[in-house]
């Protein structure tokens, strides 16, 4: 039976009577937690921004028809050469079509899969941008603009124009910022393009986009799927790529494998395509946590020290409490609750300071060519960080308080009284 | 007849720095309502004996009985409870918690016992202070009152749980004659009026002479 009211009131009186020491101990925790919150918010904010620069535009599974040589050459099928070494020179890629066969039923089928958010068709082709006598090579991709906005944040990268105009305006094209600059044209201008097979088409520039990756912005442009199909003279079922967005990114390799086996198409999952991003994020997180834990350990030693001193000063009090009937456990709880109070108050203040610092950083202007949508430094306000922060504070103060309070529990009142 | 406090063949050794036989075959009883003093020279073991009687020191041989209950060998939590409920302490040095008010100091053992609710405990504490003539100090910090006053607060605290016995370790050793007189008179009244048992270790011949019985000790033994 522990009388918490009594223990807490004694702990409170001790803490308040040594207000300066208490405040210093609590400030140690506040400093540790505050810097953890602002550091981790800032670091993961940057991480997310860097990841999203690539990952948000990247489909979780990208399905297309790869132009490549057949793995089985005719000589392999001939049984007389079965056990021979075959050397074949000048293998050419297999004659195949660029379009995905039966693309529309495949899309329907993929969308029925449980973890799939959306499967979006694209039509990719090479074109030339024509400016007078100059022909500039480039890529034109036919997209469903509204779907792309919804699932791949296409709207974030459109620095001029509205995504809807791709569907609403006849023969509209969104030009990459680099292309637009090279051709010296802007929104509302007309532009001639020609396909690889020849034949030119007039298009209207309805928007400019900037992905932040210069190589892409120098060649890429977008039009609606129908426009591209018309330019190529292909029917409505002509689809070259399918981009899949998943609810759970971990499912990507499984789905990719399944599609490869079932439809004999090339399917690349995001983990394979962007493995290095994972590694970068993991290491940055590791550094963040290493620094935070160091700060908290320092704060913990501060608490340990102050509690040790407090117990040394309070020897007489401990003796009298024990003499008047407080058990060793009661005394331990008195000092333990002091440590936990310091941890809790310091931790809460730390969360507040961390939040305020995050707010400040969040409002510092940060403009970069590569990220047209970013105006200030990015901050991640994930509530998990705040939970982890207060958890850290409580655990470290618990550990720091345990040893001194255990010592207080073991103090023999007779030793103290006899010493007088 | 009820045995309030009884020892049977208590022996104690100090192991450090060298083996030393402090208490040798201590046998005595305290009857209810008796006011007993223990006298002896420094180092004769009288304080050591008191710490054993108070249940704080458990490192001894023999048996200790309190209120017909064998104390020897009880768990430390149980001993804490027994101290809290049945034994009141007054020390030479006043041992109040300096950050707390006089009233809070007096209330602490009762709040630990938690037999009554807070307003009742507060009422009892003020009553005890009034008996000792120091109710005016109730709201003062314990570190802000004089030595004689502190000792009276300590007595009030020892009375708060209506103990069976009060133990004193040189309770007047640090007080001037005037305050010693006051403390003795308080003890005398408690013994006479409330039938409380008292066991007081003292150097003070005058003090001891006025008690019901004197137990004299020498070299760890009780002299008859």
What is the C-alpha separation between A42 and A288, in angstroms, rounded?
10
Q: Based on the domain organization, do A147 and A246 belong to the same domain?
A: yes
Short-list A270, A268, A263, CA closest to A248: A270
B169–chain A Cβ distance below 8 A for any pair: yes
A218 pLDDT more than 80: yes
Is B108 in Cβ contact with A3 (below 8 Å)? no
Superfamily name and number for B34-59+75-223:
P-loop containing nucleotide triphosphate hydrolases (3.40.50.300)
Q: How far is B97 from chain A (nearest CA, A)?
A: 6
pLDDT exceeds cutoff 90 at A360: yes
Q: Does the distance separating the beta carbons of A329 and B77 come in below 8 Å?
A: yes
Q: What would the pLDDT profile of A268-313 be if each residue is shown by its tens digit?
A: 888 776 666 677 778 877 887 888 788 778 777 877 887 788 788 8
B190-221, pLDDT tens digit by residue? 888 888 889 998 888 888 888 888 888 888 88
Which of A272, A287, A321 corresponds to the end of one domain?
A272
Note whether A46 and A153 are same-domain residues: no
In a domain, A89, yes or no: no
Q: CA nearest B48: which of B87, B97, B10?
A: B10
Domain boundary residue among A244, A272, A300? A272
The model's pLDDT over A383-400, given as tens digits with 9 standing for 90+, comes to 988 998 898 888 888 888
Neighbours of A215 (CB within 10 A): 10
Q: What confidence score (pLDDT) does residue A175 get?
A: 92
Percent of chain A at pLDDT exceeding 70 = 96
pLDDT per position as a tens digit, A326-335: 888 899 999 8
Pair of tokens at residue B59: 């490192």
Q: What is the pLDDT of residues A146-190, one digit of tens each?
A: 888 888 888 888 888 888 888 888 889 999 999 999 889 988 889
B112/A323 touch (CB, cutoff 8 Å), yes or no: no
CB atoms A324 and B108 under 8 Å: yes
Asked if the model's pLDDT at residue A133 lies above 90, the reply is: no
Choose between A292 and A103: higher pLDDT: A103
Do both A234 and A359 map to the same domain? no
How many structural domains comprise chain A? 2
Which of A14, A19, A310, A323 to mutate against chain B (most B CBs within 10 Å)? A323
Dihedral of the alpha carbons of A132, A135, A136, A140, in degrees to the nearest 10: 100
Q: What angle do CA B159, B165, B168 make, to 5 degrees?
A: 80
pLDDT surpasses 90 at A367: no
The length of chain B, given as a count of residues: 224
pLDDT, residue B22, reads 86
Q: Is 70 exceeded by the pLDDT of residue A1?
A: no
- Check pLDDT > 90 for residue A352: yes
Domain housing A323: 4-55+277-419
More confident residue, B100 or A156: B100
Chain A neighbours among B 64-123 (CB < 8 Å)?
76-77, 80-85, 89, 91-93, 95-100, 104, 108-109, 111-114
**B105 with B46: CB under 8 angstroms?**
no
CA distance linking residue A346 with residue A342, whole number of Å: 6
Contacts of B98 in chain A (CB under 8 A): 317
Question: Under an 8 Å CB criterion, which residues of A touch B?
Answer: 3, 5-6, 10, 13-14, 16-17, 316-317, 319-330, 412-414, 417-418, 420
Q: Using CB atoms, which residue from B91, B97, B157 is nearest to A417?
A: B91
Of A219, A252, A272, which closes a domain? A272
Is residue A88 in some structural domain? no
From the list A3, A317, A326, the residue facing B80 with the nearest CB is: A326
Residues A106 and A219 both lie in one domain: yes
Q: Which of A17, A325, A329 sits opposite B109 (nearest CB)?
A: A325
Dig out the tokens for A169 from the structure: 């305006």
Task: Say whether both A252 and A281 belong to one domain.
Answer: no
Confidence at residue A145, expressed as pLDDT on a 0 to 100 scale: 87
On average, the pLDDT of chain B sits at 86
- Classify the complex by whether its ipTM is higher than 0.90, answering yes or no: no
A319 and B95 within 8 Å at the Cβ level: the answer is yes
Provide the 10 A C-beta neighbour count for residue B209: 10
User: Measured between CA atoms, how close is B1 to chain A, in angstroms?
Assistant: 28
Between helix B118-131 and helix B147-159 the angle, nearest 10°, is: 130
Q: How far is B54 from chain A (nearest CA, A)?
A: 8
Of B76, B112, B157, the CB nearest to A6: B112
Tokens, residue A381: 């306000």
Q: Inter-chain contact B76–A328, Cβ cutoff 8 Å?
A: yes
Query: In B, which residues are within 8 Å of A334 by CB distance?
Result: none
Q: Is the pLDDT of residue B88 over 70?
A: yes
In a domain, A137, yes or no: yes
Closest CA to A57 of A126, A151, A132: A151
In this prediction, residues B10-14 reach a mean pLDDT of 86
Segment B22-58, tens digit of pLDDT: 888 888 888 888 888 998 888 788 888 888 888 888 8
Higher pLDDT, A183 or A373: A183
This prediction has a pTM of 0.70
Name the nearest CA neighbour of A40 among A289, A281, A280.
A289
pLDDT (tens digit per residue) in B126-166: 988 888 888 888 888 888 888 888 888 888 898 888 888 89
Collapsing DSSP states into helix, strand and coil, what is residue B10? strand
User: Nearest by CB to B112, which of A3, A328, A418?
Assistant: A3
Q: Give the per-residue pLDDT at A371.
A: 66
Per-residue pLDDT band for A241 (boundaries 50, 70, 90) equals very high
DSSP A328-386: HHHHHHHHHHHHHHHHHHHHHHHHHHHHHHHHHHHTSB---TT-TT--B------HHHH
Across the interface, whether the CB atoms of A14 and B99 are under 8 A apart is answered yes
* A375 and A230 share one domain: no
Output b/e per residue, A240-251; b: 16+ Cβ within 10 A. Answer: bbbbbbbeeeeb
How many residue contacts between A and B have a Cβ separation below 8 Å? 75
Q: Which chain B residues are within 8 Å of A19, Cβ to Cβ?
A: none
Q: Are B113 and A325 within 8 A, CB to CB?
A: yes
Calculate what percentage of chain B has a pLDDT beyond 90: 4
Instruction: Provide mean pLDDT across the span A397-415.
Output: 86
Please state the rounded mean pLDDT for residues B106-132: 88
Q: Does B22 touch chain A (CB under 8 A)?
A: no
- Please tell me which residue of chain A has the smallest CA distance to B158: A324
Half-sphere CA count of B154, side-chain side, radius 13 A: 30
Residue A175 contacts residue A165 (beta carbons within 8 Å) = no
Residues 6+ apart with CB under 8 A from A217: A176, A177, A178, A179, A209, A210, A211
What residues of B are in contact with residue A321 (Cβ under 8 Å)? Answer: 97, 108
Within a domain: A384: yes
pLDDT of residue B75: 87
């Amino acid at each position: 039976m522990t009388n918490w009211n009594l223990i807490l009131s004694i702990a409170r009186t001790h803490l308040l009577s040594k207000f300066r020491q208490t405040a210093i101990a609590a400030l140690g925790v506040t400093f540790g937690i505050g810097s953890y919150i602002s550091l981790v918010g800032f670091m993961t904010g940057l991480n997310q921004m860097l990841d999203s620069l690539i990952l948000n535009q990247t489909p979780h599974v990208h399905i297309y028809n790869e132009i490549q040589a057949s793995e089985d050459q005719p000589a392999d099928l001939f049984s007389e050469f079965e056990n021979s070494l075959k050397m074949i020179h000048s293998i050419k890629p297999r004659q195949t079509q660029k379009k995905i066969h039966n693309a529309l039923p495949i899309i329907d089928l993929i969308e029925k899969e449980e973890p799939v958010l959306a499967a979006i068709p694209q039509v990719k082709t090479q074109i030339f941008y024509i400016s007078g006598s100059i022909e500039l090579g480039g890529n034109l991709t036919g997209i469903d603009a509204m779907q792309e906005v919804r699932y791949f944040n296409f709207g974030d990268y459109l620095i001029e124009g509205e995504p809807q105009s791709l569907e609403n305006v006849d023969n509209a094209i969104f030009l990459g910022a680099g292309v637009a600059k090279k051709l010296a044209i802007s929104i509302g201008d007309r532009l001639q393009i020609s396909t690889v097979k020849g034949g030119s088409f007039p298009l209207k520039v309805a928007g400019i986009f900037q992905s932040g990756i210069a190589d892409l912005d120098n060649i890429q442009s977008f039009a609606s799927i129908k426009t591209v199909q018309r330019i190529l003279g292909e029917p409505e079922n002509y689809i070259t790529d399918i981009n899949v967005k998943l609810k759970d990114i971990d499912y990507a390799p499984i789905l990719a494998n399944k599609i490869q086996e079932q439809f004999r198409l090339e399917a690349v999952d995001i983990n394979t395509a962007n493995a290095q991003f994972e590694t970068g994020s993991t290491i940055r997180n590791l550094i963040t946590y290493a620094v935070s834990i160091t700060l908290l350990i320092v704060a913990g030693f501060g608490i340990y020290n102050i509690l040790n001193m407090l117990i040394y000063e309070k020897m007489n009090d401990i003796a009298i409490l024990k003499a008047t009937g407080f058990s060793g456990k009661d005394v331990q709880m008195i000092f333990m609750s002091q440590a936990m109070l310091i941890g809790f108050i310091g931790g809460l203040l730390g969360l507040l300071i961390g939040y305020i610092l995050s707010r400040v950083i969040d409002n510092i202007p940060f403009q970069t060519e590569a990220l047209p949508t970013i105006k200030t430094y990015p901050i991640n306000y994930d509530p998990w960080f705040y939970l982890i922060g207060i958890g850290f504070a409580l655990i470290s103060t618990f550990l720091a308080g345990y040893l001194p309070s255990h010592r207080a529990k073991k103090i023999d009142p007779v030793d103290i009284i006899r010493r007088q | 007849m009820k045995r309030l406090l009884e020892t049977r063949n208590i022996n104690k050794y100090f192991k450090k720095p060298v083996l030393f036989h402090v208490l040798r075959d201590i046998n005595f009883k305290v009857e209810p309502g008796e006011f007993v003093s223990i006298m002896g020279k420094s180092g004769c073991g009288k304080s050591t004996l008191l710490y054993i009687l108070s249940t704080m020191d458990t490192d001894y041989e023999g048996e200790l009985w309190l209120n017909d209950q064998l104390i020897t060998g009880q768990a430390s939590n149980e001993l804490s409870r027994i101290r809290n409920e049945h034994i009141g302490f007054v020390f030479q040095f006043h041992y109040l918690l300096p950050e707390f008010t006089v009233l809070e100091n007096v209330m602490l053992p009762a709040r630990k016992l938690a037999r009554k609710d807070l307003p009742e405990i507060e009422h009892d504490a003020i009553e005890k202070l009034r008996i000792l003539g120091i109710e005016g100090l109730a709201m003062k910090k314990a570190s802000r009152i004089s030595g004689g006053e502190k000792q009276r607060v300590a007595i009030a605290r020892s009375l708060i749980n209506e103990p069976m016995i009060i133990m004193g370790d040189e309770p007047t050793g640090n007080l001037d004659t005037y305050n010693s007189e006051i403390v003795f008179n308080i003890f005398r009244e408690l013994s006479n009026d409330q039938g409380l048992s008292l066991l007081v270790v003292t150097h003070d011949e005058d003090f001891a002479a006025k008690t019901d019985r004197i137990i004299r000790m020498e070299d760890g033994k009780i002299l008859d």
